[in-house]
Copies of this chain bind each other. A is one copy, B any other.
Amino acid sequence: MNTSVKIAGVTFQNPVMTASGTFGSGLEYSEFVDLNALGAVVTKGVSNVPWKGNETPRIAETYGGMLNAIGLQNPGIDVFIERDVPFLRSFNTNIIVNVCGKSTEDYIEVVERLTKKEADLLEINISCPNVKEGGIAFGQNPKMVEEITSVLKKHAALPLIMKLSPNVTDITATAKAAEAGGADAISLINTLTGMKIDINKRKFLLGNKTGGLSGPAIKPVALRMVYQASHAVTIPVIGMGGICSGEDALEFIMAGATGVAVGTANFMDPYATIKTIVGIESFMKKNQIGDINELIGCVEENNRPFGGCM
């Protein structure tokens, strides 16, 4: 049984990765999860200099989901390369570094520091709703997506994954823009911008007022966008948004994703990544599927006869 997939020339032993920002750099979760078993560890966003993030509270629970406005707190690329890279390189898994910035120059600075020695792919977060400059501004405008993609492509030694925002009218426009700019892959979705109010205090629950909605609540929107995006481009798609199980992951794969990421589900269960991998494998075994690549994009139009679903 083959569960390995290829994205931008890089082989992943299985399609299951961690979603950026939900797994740190793997250290904390390595207490629960053998990182060697993962397709890749996708790191928390890394910027050129340390970022201190937003005011607390940074998260709020919502019905079937959560809001976060961490604000990309991170130690900056120097500490990251010094401390996190050696730790991650001690495992037999791909490293995808998630990169954030407030300007094109910021992104370039980080991208240029990362070579085959430090990582396997780069994921460019142009869609974080929780920073004032840069971030989501890039991700909502197809022209800017294409531009930043092509600029970073010139500076990157590693394959580029552009991470798309779901807060757009037409996800196929930004997906195509990333492809046109030379992206090697796209990943989606980042979080949907949301809000929560504490009615007793008459205040926003989050320090940052708005936050990004993630978790199982958003899965149907994520799946639709992954389906649309993967049918709009020819580069591989990494799907995420509410994946909690092998079944969830298989929906994204059948919709057209080559890779999948588990994010918020780690908070619901620290073993979520491993359970997702095991779930995919047992589905394949049960259905005698020799190669997971057969499943990518296999969903068919619904021509079920009208009526009756017993």
A residues with CB within 8 A of B: 55-57, 62-65, 67, 140, 167-170, 192-197, 199, 201-207, 209-211, 213, 216-221, 223-224, 227, 242, 247, 250-251, 254-255, 283, 298-302, 304, 306-307, 309
Contacts and interface: CB of A to CB of B under 8 A. Distances in A.
B220 A213 contact: yes
Given A63-B242, A302-B204, A306-B55, A221 B209 contact: no
Contacts of A65: 64, 217, 220
Contacts of A309: 56-57
Contact of A197 (B195, B210, B223): B223
Contacts of A205: 302
Given A199-B283, A242-B63, A224 B306 contact: no
Given A64-B64, A301-B204, A302-B209, A195 B223 contact: yes
A14 B224 CA distance: 37
B220 A67 contact: yes
B221 A300 contact: no
A304 B195 contact: no
Contact of A302 (B168, B207, B219): B207
Contact of A196 (B207, B217, B251): B251
A191 to B, nearest CB: 10
Nearest to A199: B250
B299 A204 contact: yes
A197 B63 contact: no
22 contacts: A55-B306, A56-B306, A56-B309, A62-B219, A63-B217, A64-B216, A65-B217, A140-B169, A168-B169, A194-B221, A195-B223, A196-B223, A197-B254, A201-B304, A202-B254, A202-B299, A202-B300, A205-B302, A207-B302, A207-B306, A210-B224, A213-B221
Contacts of A193: 221, 224
Given A63-B216, A203-B302, 5 more contacts: A63-B217, A194-B219, A199-B250, A202-B254, A203-B299
Contacts of A307: 56
A298 B199 CA distance: 10
A196 B218 CA distance: 11
Contacts of A251: 196-197, 199
A62 to B, nearest CB: 5
B202 A304 contact: no
Contact of A199 (B194, B206, B216, B247): B247
A292 to B, nearest CB: 13
A298 B202 contact: yes
